[in-house]
Amino acid sequence: MLPLPSSLWDPTRPNTSPSDMKNPSSGLSAILLFLFFFSASSAEQNVRTERISGSAGDVLEDNPVGKLKVYVYELPSKYNKKLLQKDPRCLTHMFAAEIFMHRFLLSSPVRTRNPDEADWFYTPIYPTCDLTPTGLPLPFKSPRMMRSAIQLISSNWPYWNRTEGADHFFVVPHDFGACFHYQEEKAIERGILPLLQRATLVQTFGQRNHVCLDEGSITIPPFAPPQKMQAHLIPPDIPRSIFVYFRGLFYDVNNDPEGGYYARGARAAVWENFKNNPLFDISTDHPTTYYEDMQRSIFCLCPLGWAPWSPRLVEAVVFGCIPVIIADDIVLPFADAIPWEEIGVFVAEKDVPELDTILTSIPTEVILRKQRLLANPSMKQAMLFPQPAQPGDAFHQILNGLARKLPHDKGIYLKAGEKALNWTAGPTGDLKPW
Ligand SMILES: *[C@@H]1O[C@H](CO)[C@@H](O)[C@H](O)[C@H]1NC(C)=O
Ligand SMILES: *[C@@H]1O[C@H](CO)[C@@H](O)[C@H](O)[C@H]1NC(C)=O
């Protein structure tokens, strides 16, 4: 059978196995209550950081307005609005950032209508808005669509040819970004679309030393519906009585029948080691109280699936549940602005069998500090694409990322007649008209 894109079953979707809820013993509840109410001084940690600056534990404060000007190309609606009209589900799936970013830029104060004064050029195209009848976004047509759009902007405006894309950015939120395939092997084989090799890519996919992540790309959170999450908020004083929470697949028997390839075995290891551990509330069952449960949990597991990222990262931050990130080499969203190393716990994939010991030996004051940092509204804001946009939200973080790349290196401008890109490189199927 055709493997389904990871994005669809991996994250928070329902599954069919029986519920596996576990209630911690009353003794444990007492400890958890204690953890929740006890207040202690901050503990410092020595963890590697990719951050630029900002006070310890806070989101890097930056206002992009006045720091960059973005020109939005006007494209025929077949590259964007028509696709959305055909399938409005594109507005709610986890790749919807490509649509909301377009809408945001149209009315953003950083937009300029004069391309001669622009620092960045944006091509509004929705390459992941091509859904199967059951709602799975397929990236197969994306390369041809991209090529068609780039052909159009490069023949109608002089700006593409000036740099062959080096001052252009594209939002490519699919599983493996501009590699445009949902299976990792195939994505790696394809590599980043040749025509996008000089452009800045704004993408959810982030893994160090991976062909689908260019240096200079901006890693963003997947789209999670802000109103829906808001609607499930519970009073903040309800104690966190679940120690470790996870809902999702442990195995993907359809696409990985022999096991070990899906999640590189890390999810299987979680299940095999902790399915009977009372501290672990883990199951494939997706309860209607999923969002509420995260707000009642201390740790939320965020293991890799087919790709290293999943919406759980966003959900954990929004619901104040300490994300336990199990995805070696992951590049986290806005890692230069968000203190992930201080709000989260990082567990190497090979250490999953020790997860219980690792988590139970984290000192209470460290847990409390992480919870306090997570409670900061600007931490949550940075993970969301709200309508309308709000200061410090994910849109603004993207702009901050683009602004921090300015000024452009003079070397990006090509000499007259100089060509850097190869228009005929890549699989022949990608060269067909769109
Ligand atoms: C950009 O270069 C291509 C050839 O590489 C050419 O066909 C196109 O007309 C050029 N665009 C402009 C606006 O001159
Ligand atoms: C462009 O790519 C094609 C296909 O890979 C290759 O045959 C051709 O030699 C390349 N052209 C240049 C100028 O590198």
Q: Which atom of ligand 2 is nearest to the CA of 426?
A: 5
Helix runs in 305-363, H state only: 312-318, 340-343, 355-360
Residue 201: its H or E element: strand 200-203
Of all protein residues, the one whose alpha carbon is nearest to atom 8 of ligand 1 is: 155
Centroid of ligand 2 to alpha carbon of 426 (angstroms):
9
Of all protein residues, the one whose alpha carbon is nearest to atom 14 of ligand 2 is: 422
CATH of 9-56+225-381, one of 2.30.30, 2.40.128, 3.30.70, 3.40.50: 3.40.50
Task: Check whether 17 has a pLDDT greater than 80.
Answer: no
**Phi and psi of 173, rounded to 5°?**
-85, 5
Mutate to test the pocket of ligand 1, among 152, 154, 415 (most ligand atoms within 8 A of CB): 154
Centroid of ligand 2 to alpha carbon of 424 (angstroms):
6
CA distance 310 to 287: 18
Pocket lined around ligand 2, Cβ cut-off 6 Å = 422, 424-425
Task: Check whether 131 has a pLDDT greater than 70.
Answer: yes
The beta strand positions in 211-332, using DSSP E, are 218-219, 242-247, 280-283, 297-303, 322-326
Q: In Å, how far are 51, 135, 323, 329 from 6, measured between CA atoms? A: 29, 13, 20, 19
Of all protein residues, the one whose alpha carbon is nearest to atom 3 of ligand 2 is: 425
Q: What is the mean pLDDT of residues 265-277?
A: 97
Centroid of ligand 2 to alpha carbon of 194 (angstroms):
11
Among all bound ligands, the one having the nearest atom to the CA of 419 is 1
Q: Lowest-pLDDT range, 47-51, 144-148, 318-322, 402-406?
A: 47-51
Centroid of ligand 1 to alpha carbon of 145 (angstroms):
18
Centroid of ligand 1 to alpha carbon of 149 (angstroms):
14
Task: Check whether 7 has a pLDDT greater than 50.
Answer: no
- Domain boundaries, given as residue ranges, for the chain: 9-56+225-381, 70-220
pLDDT tens for residues 132-181?
898 888 899 999 999 999 999 999 999 999 999 999 999 999 999 999 99
Q: Which residue has the tokens 């996008």?
A: 196
Cβ–ligand 1 contact at 397 (below 6 Å) = no
Q: What is the mean pLDDT of residues 363-385?
A: 96
CA distance 173 to 5: 13
Mutate to test the pocket of ligand 2, among 423, 424, 431 (most ligand atoms within 8 A of CB): 424
Q: What is the pTM of this model?
A: 0.87
Q: What is the mean pLDDT of residues 328-351?
A: 96
Angle at 410 between CA 405 and CA 415, to 5 degrees: 135
